[in-house]
Amino acid sequence: MIRNRSRGGSGRQYNKDRQTGQAGTHSGTPALSGHLREMLEQIRKESGDSPDIVIREFKIGEPSFWQVDAAIVYLNGLSDEKTINNVVMRSLVEFKPDRKPDMNPERLMEMILKDALTSGDSSMESDWKDMLLGILSGDTVILLEGCDKALVISTPGGQWRAVSEPSSQLVVRGPKDSFVESIGTNISLIRRRIKNPDLWLETMKIGSVSHTHVGIMYLKSVADKDLVEEVKERLKSIQIDAVLESAYIEEFIQDETFTPFPTVYNTERPDVAAGNLLEGRIILLVDGTPFVLILPTVFAQFFQSPEDYAQRYDISIFMRLIRYISFIILLLGPSVYIALTTFHYEMIPSLLLINFVAQREGVPFPAFFEAMLMEVTFEILREAGVRMPRAIGQTVSIVGALILGQAVVEAGIITPVMVIVVALTGIASFALPAYNLAIAGRLIRFCFMVLGGMFGFYGITLGLIVLVAHMNSLRSFGVPYLAPLSPFALQSQKDTIIRLPFWTFKNRSQNNYNLKHAKKAEEIKPLGKSGKIGGHSGNKQ
């Protein structure tokens, strides 16, 4: 009933007002005026009389001796109405202020804050914009007639996806929860794993329009102080209108834009995030996405799976080696095949060669073209399968893998070996735990195919040299991308390519190779380059 009243009779009138109102906001009314009517009107004006803004007016105090007009404002859907009704409203209604001669609205508000409210997180706010932002983030605001401050009570609510199993980083053994879109839930998921006051959280808002919450989490005693400062510096210099995914942030803060390799790690698993915190890394949580950023990142991290620590170490070593091998197959599989068959036939074992030749007989395309054709087809299939609704997705894979693969061989367009090679590289790309590295590998694979098709192993070798040189030049927040292999750190080898039993890591931070090299990297390439970040960021719009 009250809500109905607040919405007002004629929307048009407000519509007209909005234009003037907006001009008014821009000119700036940072402080609250203190007149309840005016303030409520202002809220309505600035939000375009949005129906989901609930304004409830009531009187506070005892009618017999002293009463003040008050209003409660919140955003329907974002704040928890149950809390508002049960906690906020009840405490206000039940609140009977003492008779005090010097009673004024401001004092009253203080009394409400101190004596009446049974809700935990509440504060006084005198800035208009902050108050408005509070409403928009799901807080409840209490305004009093004659008081130029607003009481902001945290009443978070609304609908979020529940914590569920991770969808992109699965494990057989290990925790099964994953981050969700709510930053609060995500923080709690990490806090639950590391119960330590040393785990610090700082938040800031990024996005001139979206005002997205971004949380920076780190273990105070382990994380490098300079690194934390640098991260904050880079985050501050981001100029963007909205942050809808952590990738937006990633693109702004990464050291190198022109590289296929990801230099910031992301995960949707709280256990991975917690593990990285313990190793001294910094975690960026972005509201609205389950993907959390981890930095600084080294190349070897993309080959580590949380399962490595859940299985016996010898099995983990084997699995990791398999992943490295798959990456090499992914990069070089088709190109080596092309190079072998078009340049280095003498390197193929004789009987295998006879097999290859027999298959090539009557196939119209050169090996390079054949490989390109199949690889592109495979990418199309994969891309189509990703977007497909789950029910149709299976059809795509059946049509693609079975029918297309078989038909193409039977029609004599493609040699069977090529199908094997392409299938192997395709599967190898899925063996990598990190999706973004697999995509990078797929991209580079095409370059190697061109090199292999043009110059054979000579070209592939040159390509590898350039690739390694490039990877060596990469930095992630000053940490060399190939650390701890280059520069080499013996202590860190315990958990890089192999994983030794836990007792060999004397303590966890010893295992943290990042910090050890952060200093060195600082010399190579100064960390303070926030100016450059601002330079290539610009406004997104």
Partner 1 sequence: MGRKCISGLLACCLLLFTLPGCWDARELNRRAIVSGIGIDHSDGGYEVSLQVIIADEISGKTGRGGTPTSVYHASGRSVVEAMRNVSREVPRLISTGQTRLIVISEEIAREGISGLVDFLDRDSDLRLSTKLYIAREGIKASDIVSALTPLGKITAYALVQKTDLAADELGANFAVEIDDVLRGLLSPGGGPVINGLNFAGSPEKAGDKGSLEKTKSAGVVVIDDMALFKGDKLVGWMNREECKGMVWMLNKMRKTVLLVKPEGDEEEITLEVFETSTSTKVDVSNPRHPMAVIKVKPQMSVREAGTEIDLRDSLALDKVEKAANVAIARKLESAVKKAQQMKSDIFGIAQQVERTNPKAWKRIGGQWEEIFPAIDVQYEVDSIIRNTQMRDRSYKYHFKKK
Q: Which stretch binds partner 1 (CB under 8 A): 93-101, 166-174, 447-455, 486-494?
A: 447-455
Max CA pair span of the chain: 106
Give yes or no for residue 529 binding partner 1 (CB under 8 A): no
**359 part of the interface to partner 1, by CB under 8 A:** yes
Out of 20, 350, 507, 541, point to the residue binding partner 1 (CB under 8 A). Answer: 350
Given the rule CB under 8 A, which of 148-156, 360-368, 375-383, 484-492 is the region that contacts partner 1? 360-368
Alpha-carbon distances of 125 from 104, 205, 288, rounded to whole Å:
17, 17, 25
Helices then strands, each counted (H, E), the chain: 21, 12
Of 47 and 415, nearer to partner 1 (C-beta) is 415
**Tokens 């607003």, residue located:** 150
8 A C-beta contact, residue 280 and residue 466: no
Residue 362 touches partner 1, criterion: CB under 8 A: yes
Residue 311 lies near partner 1 (rule: CB under 8 A): no
Min separation Cβ 353 and partner 1, Å: 6
- Does 472 sit near partner 1 (CB under 8 A)? no
Tell which one of 360, 508, 529, 540 touches partner 1 (CB under 8 A).
360
- Name the residue nearer to partner 1 (CB basis): 94 or 361: 361
- 333: contact with partner 1 by CB under 8 A: no
Strand partners, 140: 153
> What is the residue type of 54?
V
Task: Pick from 333, 334, 405, 453 the residue near partner 1 by CB under 8 A.
Answer: 453
Min dist CB 280 to partner 1, Å, is 28
How far out from the chain centre does Cα 227 lie?
A: 19
170, 430 Cβ separation under 8 angstroms: no
Binding range to partner 1, per CB under 8 A, among 201-209, 393-401, 451-459, 509-517: 451-459
Q: Based on CB atoms, which residue is closest to partner 1, 359 or 509?
A: 359
Cβ proximity to partner 1, 86 vs 406, nearer residue: 406
Site membership for partner 1, residue 260 (CB under 8 A): no
Beta pairing class for 212-219 and 282-286:
antiparallel
Indicate which single residue of 66, 160, 318, 345 sits in contact with partner 1 (rule: CB under 8 A): 345
Give me the residues paired with residue 216 across strands: 202, 284
Alpha carbons 159 and 482: distance in angstroms, whole number:
42
Which CB sits closer to partner 1, 133 or 454?
454
Identity at 193, one-letter amino acid code: R
Cis peptide before 306 (omega within 30 of 0): no
User: Nearer Cβ to partner 1, position 342 or 436?
Assistant: 342
Q: Smaller CB distance to partner 1: residue 360 or 540?
A: 360
- Rule CB under 8 A: say whether 448 interacts with partner 1: no
Output the CA torsion sign for 336, 340, 346, 348.
positive
Q: Which is nearer to partner 1, 259 or 436 (CB)?
A: 259
User: How many Å is the Cα radius of gyration of the chain?
Assistant: 30
Distances (CA, A) of 56 to 2, 152, 372, 513, 519: 6, 15, 66, 56, 57
Give CA–CA dist 405/55, Å, rounded.
63
- Which among 13-21, 179-187, 339-347, 435-443 is the span making contact with partner 1, rule CB under 8 A? 339-347
Q: How far from 522 is each of 82, 224, 419, 478, 480, CA to CA, in Å?
A: 52, 12, 47, 6, 10
CA angle 259–260–262, rounded 5-degree value: 90
C-alpha dist (Å) from residue 400 to 371, 382, 445:
16, 9, 21
Choices 74-82, 211-219, 329-337, 346-354; region in contact with partner 1 by CB under 8 A:
346-354
Question: Is position 482 an interface residue for partner 1 (rule: CB under 8 A)?
Answer: no
- Listed in sequence order, the residues at least 6 apart from 461 whose beta carbon sits closer than 8 Å to its beta carbon are none
> Does 476 participate in binding partner 1 (rule CB under 8 A)?
no
> Does position 473 bind partner 1 by CB under 8 A?
yes
Asked if 471 is part of the footprint of partner 1 (rule: CB under 8 A), the reply reads: no
Does the footprint of partner 1 cover residue 454 (CB under 8 A)? Answer: yes
Tell me if 407 contacts partner 1 by CB under 8 A: no
Q: Decide: is 324 part of the binding site for partner 1 (CB under 8 A).
A: no
Q: How far is the CB of 343 from partner 1 (least distance, A)?
A: 6
Number of residues near partner 1 (by CB under 8 A):
27
Residues that bind partner 1 (CB under 8 A): 341-343, 345-346, 350, 353-363, 366-367, 453-456, 459, 462, 466, 473
